[in-house]
Structure 1
Amino acid sequence: MNLTKFGSKFTRPNGISQLMEDLGNAKNSKNPDIIMLGGGNPAVIPEVNEVFVNELQQLVSSAQVDKVIGLYDHPQGNEEFRVVLANKLNENYAWDIDENNISLSNGSQANFFVLFNLFAGEMPDGSHKKILFPLAPEYVGYADQGLSEDMFIAIKPDIEILDTENQSKQFKYVVNFAAVAEKLKSDHSIGAICVSRPTNPTGNVITDQELKQLDTLAQQYNIPLIVDNAYGHPFPGCIYTDATLTWHSNIILCMSLSKLGLAGLRTGIVIANKDIVQALGRINGSMILTPNSLGPTLLTRMIKDKELLKLCRNVVKPYYRDKSYTAIALFNEVFADMPVYLHKVEGAFFMWLWFKDAKISAETLYQRLKEKDVYIIPGHNFFIGIEDNWAHKHECIRINYATDESSLRKGLETIKLIMSES
């Protein structure tokens, strides 16, 4: 095919397509012994799933589903859902927003494609703007979202080895604010700052103070701060440390219904100032006419009647928090005699392992694990905008621990076996 620059860029192999293709192949495999520790798919929590199925049955019996599947919604997304969500956020966090501060999309991935290309890329004066990640590693799905090349700049983190009494060999990435401030001062091409909280892939949750510092820097340089809150408050609420949900007109807060267990409904949420939301709605109108209605309609009553937040608080968060305790205990047991470090688990449902000074790369480990029907994600794909010669970049892997204990144990033991033989 004779493709355009757009076609060439978006059809070439990349980290996220490799991930999704591997997951698809594994899903369709007839091998019952496959260990799936890759991907970001949430667990199917029976109690939660039952609630959603019952709600869907109510929609069908009341004929509301006819409106969902038979009518177009507003380009910014289902208006009733946006009104109810705005009211609930105002009630819970003392914000001052309405439905026109909220835009929906067919999944967070679509939101980030639009947001990154709104604030970075070729500008009308011929200059080029970029997105700054103040803390690497970051979500692999960001990497190929730019319409132009070299859209992303990232700052290497400070690495703190944690002195813990019962949870040995842990570390944490910390924002190097001196480097972030220097980059913003010296490089006038930065169009926006973006950080995820909790962070996919590491489960890192930047502190309220760190978020405030990033917010101050963004306002100082008159650029937006984009916060990816897909795993955070108020839903699904997978944060296991103190963290305050913050928003004002210079923050673009991105949320999702996927991690509630509704990944297939593809519903992303953006909370922003009204100019940005209007722009997102117009882009929706041009690209997809209107976002999917099913996810928002399914949850509107549950948000209005305070059932969803109760479900997150009493079921979803405890489920993943307990999974994290199991994951940490297994890590300490399996890797007790190896120089392997675990990033402190503060949120989401990922283990981020650092094989310090390993003799094989994470990519090689990934390929050897696939041969044994164990799927993880090699870490170098997450260090977007970081030079390839940084050894640490090739010493890390991501594991999704939202699985059963026996599968996680088998996967970790297989990883240990391969690393011990290398």
Structure 2
Amino acid sequence: MQSFSENPYYRLVRTNANFRRVWFSQIVSNLGDWFGVLAVYALIIEFSASELLLGLIIVIKMMSFAVFSPFAGYIADRFDRRMLMIVCDFGRGFAVLSFLFVREPEMLWLIYVMTAVQMMFAAVFEPAKQSSIPNITSPEELVRANILSNMSWSIIFTSGMGLGGLATAAFGTDAVFVMNGVGYILSTIFIFRATIPHVRDAETLETLKNPVKGIMDGYRYLWRTGPVYRPAMAKGAMTVFMGGLVYMLILISDQVLLMGSAGLGLLYAARGAGTAVGPVLHRKFMLNDRRWVAGMGAMMMTAGFFYFGVGLTTSLWMMMGLVFLSHVASGANWVSSTVLLQQRTPDTYRGRVFSSEFLLFTVSQSLSTLAVSLLLEFGIITLQTAILTFSTGLMLTGTLWLFTVAKREKAEMG
């Protein structure tokens, strides 16, 4: 039996100090984020009790990230990524701490403005971080680094919102905002201590002088480079229907299970556990990365199949199992597409490629959630029909992927 000290994930964290520091920064900032989300919701409800204003904060978070993504990718390729991450964490910490000034309903506007600022900094931080991982890991460590990063996100997602809710109830929103801000400060300390190579020759810097040209060059590179373009589409393609399905978990808990937030917590826990397990299983059984693009189509079909089962049952435990299995597939899709982009994209373009991928994912998630909410709001379809329709759409997307994208991948890559 393999000892703990021989575990490859433990060995990666123990021996690779630079990755360890970037990973620790992710952990503390993610934990603070999930704490802060519920505190923001609580503050809006306290001063407005408006469902519209509550929904508006979600829209602003998504759209601020999406709108700034094209500029963020250029910035992540043009400037030192380590310094960018430090600046972005300071900026996000400042934005979160500014929520402390919201003391009356007339100050609620500050939450929306500073949330937009927070997400603009996040739009730069994420491609900068993802682009840096290949620079601080060996080719053998790269997959494990992404699995570990995804696993920690899943665990924090599963537990963070619950802990954030308890902390908000016990200590109040001010204390939670301070915790969130401190998390960003700790993140900057970890990143400051990391060494992240930033190599740009004179020719590359010349091509990046003009921001508009730099952004357009990034889009042209992505569009014309099939081996990069195909995995870059995977998250967005899956989220066209998965986004709506995840949103409907809220309604399932309330209208089908009649359990409210308690049921939602259990379903989200199953979702988080699935996204953690999926990449590990994928790494174990899908060793040939030439098959990963085809595997993405299979994962879409698998995720849709299990969500179809969610629409046919009223049992909490059955739903939890089906949601878990569906997100095993989505987690595998997420990490495999990320790793392929890191492997196939030159460092010069990596920031712009990842920002484009985040843009596609964010827009797909927003449109999917908006579509299903409108269909249900106007009574065009029932909740069960919406679940079955969107899960069928996800299975069809996976089928189409296999016959088009995966076929092209095989023709080009062998």
By the TM > 0.5 criterion, same fold? no
The answer to which structure has the higher strand fraction is 1
Give the TM-score normalised by the residue count of structure 1.
0.27
